Amino acid sequence: MPNKRTPVAVPIPEKPRRFLNAVRAMQENALALLPRIAFTQPIVSGHVVRRFHMVMDPPSLRRILKDKAENYPKSEEAQAMLRPALGNGLFLAEGAHWRWQRRAAMPIFAPRNLTALTPVMTEAAEETSRRIAARPGPQDMYGEMLRTAFDVIAAVSMSSDTAIPREVAHKAIDRYLETAGRASLLDILRVPAFVPRPSRAVAKVIISDLIKATDAAIEARMGREPADPPPLLDLLIGASDPETGRTMTAGELRDNLLTFLVAGHETTALTLSWALYLMAFDEEVQEKARAEAQAVLGDRAAGADDVAGLPYIRQIVLETMRLYPPVAILSRTATEPDMLREREVKRGDVMLLPFYALHRNECIWDEPNAFDPDRFADPKSVDRYAYLPFGAGPRVCLGMDFGMQEAIIVLATLLARFRFTAIPGRDPEPVMILSLRPKGGVWLDVQPLGETAGP
Ligand code: HEM
C-alpha cells in the first residue's frame, strides 16, 4: 500500500495565472507553467506568443518522439542557450551530423560494455561511503550525489592524467544550467524580449573556464596511444563516420565531451538525491530496500553482477524518476501539420512534453502523487509512452542503461551501510530550471549502521 502522505510536489495553482504572473513564476520554476488541467487531461493547447500543445497522451507522445520524429525536431529556441556549451555535439545535432556521432558513441554504452564500466561506479560508491561515514549526522545528499556522479562520468570520459579538475567542472555546469534554463522556456514560447532573461553571452562567460579545461584535456590526449580500457574521449578520437571516413575535429570532440559531462552528471545525481529523499520519507520502503541490499551485498559495495539481484532497488529508482523526472519537460517544433487525437497541430507549433505532468496524470496513474515502488513490480504493466524519464525514439537517452546501473549500484551500497532519516522542516522544494532540482538540497540525518549491519 502506498504511504498515505504524499512526498513534496510542485504547487499547482487551481486557476490559470495572468500572462505576466505566469512568466514571472516560470523564471523561478519552469513547472509553474503547468495548469491544473495538465494533470487531468491528455492534451492542453494554448497560445502565449505562439501556439503550443502540452502533450500528456501516450499514443501522441509515441507519434511525436518515434513514429513521426522527423516532423518534430528539437526546437532551435530550446537549443540556443545550450549551444555555447554543447555546440553541435550529440545532444543538439540534427540529421546526418547527429547520426554519425550517435553511431560513433554508441558502442561504449551498449549493454555488453556496461559491465566494463561498472568498476568505476563501484569505486565511486565506496568513496561516497567513506566520505559520508566520516561525518555522521545531517548532510546535504544532493551535494554528495553531484560529486559521486561527476566522479563516475569523469572517470569514464577521460584518463586520470588528463582529467578536468572537478571544481572547475562543477561550478561551471551548475551555474550554466541554471542560467541557460532561466532563459530557454521563455525563448521556446517566444516570450517578448521585454521580459528580462540571461543572454547567451552571459552563459558563454560562465562556461569559458570549463571549455578551456576541456580543450586542454583533448590536446593532451591527441596523438597518444589510447589508454586501456579506453575512456570515452579516446574512443571518440578514434571514431570515424562509416560512410565518409571522417573523424571528429578538436571542436567536435570538445562538444561531445562536454555533452557527456553535462548530460550524464546532474541527471543521475538528481535521481539518486530524490531517491534518498524518498527513502527517508517512507521508512518502511527504506527497510525493505535495505533488507534486499544487505542480503545480496553483505557489506560489499555493489558491482555489475549484483544488479540483477536488486529488483526492488530498481523499482525505487524507476518510481523516483516518475515523481521527479530529472528532465521534466522536453520541447519540439512541428515542421508539418498533424492531428493528435482530435487536436490540429499547425506547422511551427511548439510541442511541450511535460513528463512531470505525464507521470502524475490522473488519466494514467492511480494516486499519481503517492510514492509506491510496487507500480513497477511488473515493468510490462506500464505503458512505454506513459513513462518517459529518458525520452523515447531515435533521440532516447544514450546513457539510459548506464544511468540506471549507476543509480542502482550507488543506492544499494548506501542503503546497505547507512540509515537515512528526514530532518523536520528541511524538506526540499522541487524546482525546475532546466533539470528538476531539490531547492535547498536534500538534507538528511545519515547514520552508519555499524558492524551489526551485515547478514
Ligand atoms: C538518470 C539519468 C538520466 C536521465 C533521466 C536522462 C534523460 C535524458 C533525456 C530525457 C534525453 C532525451 C532528450 C531529448 O530527446 O530531447 C537524454 C538524452 C541524452 N542523454 Fe541522458 N539522461 C540520463 C543519464 C545520462 C547519462 C549517464 C549519459 C551519458 C553518460 C547521458 C547522455 C545522453 C546523451 C548523449 C543524450 C542525447 C542523445 C541523442 O540526442 O542522440 N544521459 N537523456
Mutate to test the pocket of ligand 1, among 74, 86, 267, 411 (most ligand atoms within 8 A of CB): 267
**Over the stretch 149-179, which tens digit does the pLDDT of each residue have?**
999 998 888 877 667 777 777 777 777 777 7
If pLDDT is split at 50, 70 and 90, which confidence band does 452 have? very low
CA 376, CA 165: separation in Å to the nearest integer?
39
- Ligand 1 atom nearest residue 89's Cα: 35
Has residue 85 been placed in a domain?
A: yes
Dist. CA 436–CA 10, nearest whole Å: 10
pLDDT at 366: 96
pTM (two decimals): 0.93
What was the pLDDT predicted at 103? 85
Q: What is the pLDDT of residue 407?
A: 98
Name all residues whose Cβ lies below 6 A of ligand 1: 74, 90-91, 102, 153, 259-260, 263-264, 267-268, 271, 326-327, 330, 389-391, 395, 397-399, 402-403
Residue 397 grid cell: 537517452
Number of H helices, E strands in the chain: 15, 11
| Minimum-distance ligand 1 atom for the alpha carbon of 271 | 1
CA of 194 to the centre of ligand 1 (A): 33
Distance (Å) from CA 434 to ligand 1 centroid: 13
Q: Write the pLDDT tens digit of every residue in 339-352.
A: 999 899 999 999 99
Rg of the chain over Cα atoms, rounded to whole angstroms, equals 22
Q: Which of 79-83, 267-271, 399-403 has the lowest mean pLDDT?
A: 79-83
- Distance (Å) from CA 152 to ligand 1 centroid: 15
β-strand pairing of 443-448 with 343-345: unpaired
The CA-based angle 280-286-290, given to 5 degrees, is 135
pLDDT of 132: 96
Say if CB 72 and CB 391 are below 8 A apart: no
Cβ-based neighbour number of residue 284 at 10 Å: 9
Query: Dihedral (C-alpha) 256, 167, 266, 352: value to the nearest 10 degrees?
Result: -70
Residue 8 lies in a domain: no
Sequence-distant (6+) residues with CB within 8 A of 366 are none
Q: Which has the closest alpha carbon to 254: 158, 152, 155, 165?
A: 158
Ligand 1 geometric centre to CA of 50 (Å): 28
Mean local confidence (pLDDT), 39-55: 90
Rounded distance between C-alpha atoms, residue 8 and residue 31, angstroms: 14
CA of 398 to the centre of ligand 1 (A): 6
Residue 168 lies in domain: 19-449
Q: How far is the CA of 259 from the centre of ligand 1 (A)?
A: 9
For residue 72, pLDDT beyond 70: yes
In this structure, are residues 375 and 240 in contact, taking their beta carbons and an 8 Å threshold? no
Of 94 and 128, more confident: 128
pLDDT tens digit sequence for 184-221: 666 766 666 666 666 666 667 777 888 888 888 888 88
Least confident of 165-169, 405-409, 430-434: 165-169
Mutate to test the pocket of ligand 1, among 355, 397, 434 (most ligand atoms within 8 A of CB): 397
First to last CA, the chain: 27
pLDDT > 80? residue 455: no
The pLDDT value given to residue 86: 82
The answer to whether 310 touches 301, Cβ cutoff 8 Å, is no
Max distance between CA atoms of the chain, in angstroms, equals: 64
Question: Which range has the worst mean pLDDT, 61-70, 239-248, 324-333, 426-435?
Answer: 239-248
Nearest C-alpha neighbor of 270 from the set 313, 321, 314: 321
Q: How far apart are CA 334 and CA 347, in angstroms?
A: 5
Q: How far apart are CA 390 and CA 396, in angstroms?
A: 6
**Averaged pLDDT, 283-291:** 98
Residue 13 forms part of a structural domain = no
In a domain, 3, yes or no: no
Give me the number of domains the chain comprises.
Answer: 1
pLDDT digits (tens, 9 = 90+) for 99-139: 888 888 887 788 777 888 899 999 999 999 999 999 999 99
Look up the CATH number of the domain holding residue 322: 1.10.630.10
Binned at pLDDT 50, 70 and 90, residue 181 comes out as low
Give 302 or 86, the one with higher predicted confidence.
302
- Ligand 1 atom closest to residue 259's alpha carbon, by position in its atom list: 35
Q: Does residue 199 lie in a domain region?
A: yes
For 235: left if phi > 0, alpha if psi spans -120 to 50, otherwise beta; the answer is alpha
Q: CB-based contacts of 329: which residues, under 8 Å, 6+ apart?
A: 30, 31, 185, 352, 353, 354, 355, 356, 432
Cα(329)–Cα(434) distance, rounded to whole angstroms?
8
CA of 454 from ligand 1 middle (Å) equals 36
Residue matched to cell numbers 506568443 = 49
Residue 62 in domain: yes
Q: Whose CA is nearest to atom 36 of ligand 1?
A: 397
pLDDT band per the 50, 70, 90 thresholds, residue 453: very low
Domain membership of residue 11 (yes or no) is no
Please count the residues of the chain: 455
Looking at residue 454, its pLDDT comes to 42
What is the average pLDDT value for the chain, to the nearest integer? 88
- CA–centroid distance, 21 to ligand 1, in Å, is 32
CA 101 to ligand 1: nearest atom:
41
**Does residue 454 form part of some domain?**
no
